[in-house]
Structure 1
Amino acid sequence: TGGLKLLCAHVSMLRRRGHHVVAVRRAPAGSAGPAVPPWSGVSADEDVLLAPHEHLAGVYAGVNTLDVVVVGMFQQLPELLLGLPPTVPLLYYEQGHEWLFGDAARLDARHGMAEADA
């Protein structure tokens, strides 16, 4: 998706600037592979795969050393707010989501939905 592509681009840029990047992905049980998708051509310094029942603070021993945790989906916020040490900032990298901001097509006059919403 576009949001994931932007997150991957930021991983690449941060690494070029010398930052140590830890990529985290929640994967279905039994899954393997990198946290950053192979099609992106980007790699992180460390990959962390979380099973459905796992939390970052319980799996990644270096959680206290992180400078920031960047979240790409709002569903991840509650888990991270509850599990991260208070010294680690949490950055919600929202790039537009229809559940939060509405469906952009509904506001487009060509679809005639703006009047229906009024």
Structure 2
Amino acid sequence: MPSAIEALKHWKQTDNKKYQKIKQILEQVCAMPKTGIGKPEPLKHKLTGLWSRRIDRENRLVYGFDDEYVYLWQARYHYSERSEQSSIDEAVEIDLEDNNIYDTDKDKSKQ
């Protein structure tokens, strides 16, 4: 399963329409994590604490959030087990102004 940052880069390179939809969903997630487009729903069982929104019929955006941050777990395929995901420290930042995706741990040092 690719990490969220790899999935976002994949969509940016291969399907701009889907990438733009994901950006729109992410804008809403940041503003209103529990409501908005993509039919947001809390996940259950091993994924309790995470939320999901539909990108399309086959792909889901899986994320968590707290009072300060949104944590993106998955942006491609359907749900996967939380234990297979990388740590929550792998935050993804989207710059909606310049359409860039940043892995906050690696790319911030380049600015």
TM-score by length of 1: 0.29
Looking at both structures, which has the greater relative contact order when contacts are Cα pairs under 8 Å and sequence separation is at least 6? Answer: 2
Q: Which has the higher strand share?
A: 2
Structure with greater Cα Rg: 1
TM-score under structure 2 length normalisation: 0.31
More helix by share: 1
